[in-house]
Structure 1
Amino acid sequence: MTHYFAAIPIPFELVKEKITDSSHRFELTAHYKIIPHPDDLHITLLFFGALTPSQLELVHQEMGEAATKTYGFPLSINGVSFFGNPSGPRVVYLSVQENPQLTELYHLLGDRLESILQKPAPAAYTPHITIAKKRKDAVPVPIQQEYFEPLTMKVSEMVLYSIDPSSSPKYSPVNSFSFVDSFRIDD
């Protein structure tokens, strides 16, 4: 059965230099089974798992409604971090600077979809861009959390993706949902 998730797509060109640098410094390809395809880079909003056709239709409707209540916003990627043991984390990622609009969108979607999915969204939300996951050896890979000059982009949509684990890229856009087109940014 096909699994789905909602996410903010990340253009590879924006993060290419930071991913390449991290990959070389930490030898990610040598120690991790999964290095995402450049077209698969994203910030997950909600993972849905398998959906029935009627659930998928309702998810479409609710994501569309949520998009009409969301203004485009700036987003900054500002570091490298990890989940798990620092000497060999299970996931290495690019961190996303705290962003109230992104957090608000996460909660809006979670609230709107809770009854459809029959589960609440996780209370803790750590937006991130996975660059390596699933260790393939036990060799220590000491990764330290680090920050860099923020890479900023404008977010104008969210995407519903389907997952095909046997393909590369693994994620296919099913539908994109444009936000209200004016940015509420005080530059």
Structure 2
Amino acid sequence: MNKQTHFFFAIKIPLETKLIMKKSTEKLIETLPFSRWVHHEDLHITLAFLGNAPSEKLTSAMENVQATLSGSEGFMLEISKLGIFGKLDSPRIFWADTKESNELQVVRKKVFTACLDAGFQLETRPFKPHITLARKWIGDKPFQQNLLNVWAELQPEPLLFNVNEVVLYQTHLDKTPKYEEKTIYKLE
């Protein structure tokens, strides 16, 4: 049986940060009815989603990303609040936001351009860095916007982490966690 698989480049979130987010997410799961919550080991910030990548194009993208990120420096990011995509009363995606970061924008542009140069057609919407926490609202009542304000209660101290790796992930829909690290690109 040929299983569909996808590839994407993403910012790797350090394990310590994932574990802190796991504790916060466990509290959210108790009160927010979403159909699927993301396993804490799968938390990341997508830079370029490639989809079902032909091996020749994938190899080209990997080489391009390696070249463009060579000499790039690591940086700090802060997870700052919660947000949603989709309908306000029935969100499709529930996510954690990061504070504005020029360094993140530069790394994303490098990776995105490297993938375009390899022949991939990528998402054209503006880049909105986020960490997906859950998918598909299934509550009996409409989602309440004030639920997005609980981040400050869950995380009273700033949640900072060092970004020092970009990763090429492969998706395995039949596994949990479902994202496998294929190649790691270190930021100095």
Whether these two folds match at TM > 0.5 is yes
SS of match in other structure, 1:90:
strand
Does the 8 Å CA contact 1:7/1:159 hold for their aligned counterparts? yes
Q: How does 1:1-187 map to 2 (within 5 A)?
A: 1-10=4-13, 11=15, 12-24=18-30, 27-28=31-32, 31-136=33-138, 139-144=141-146, 145-146=148-149, 148=152, 149-179=157-187, 181=188
Pairwise CA RMSD: 1.9
Does the 8 Å CA contact 2:77/2:160 hold for their aligned counterparts? yes
Unaligned runs of 5+ in 2: none
**One-letter amino acid matched to 2:110:** L
Task: Report the Cα distance in structure 2 between the residues aligned to 1:113 and 1:81, rounded to whole angstroms.
Answer: 27
Unaligned runs of 5+ in 1: 182-187
SS of match in other structure, 1:87:
coil
Does the 8 Å CA contact 1:6/1:159 hold for their aligned counterparts? yes
TM-fit CA distance, 1:47: 0.5
SS of match in other structure, 2:79:
strand
> Given the two structures, how large is their TM-score scaled by the length of structure 2?
0.84
TM-fit CA distance, 1:131: 0.8
Single out whichever of 119-128 and 44-53 deviates more from structure 2: 119-128
SS of match in other structure, 1:126:
coil
TM-fit CA distance, 1:69: 3.7
Does the 8 Å CA contact 2:35/2:135 hold for their aligned counterparts? yes
Task: Report the Cα distance in structure 1 between the residues aligned to 2:9 and 2:134, rounded to whole angstroms.
Answer: 20
Residue correspondences, number: 176
Runs of 4+ in 1 over 4 A off after TM superposition: none
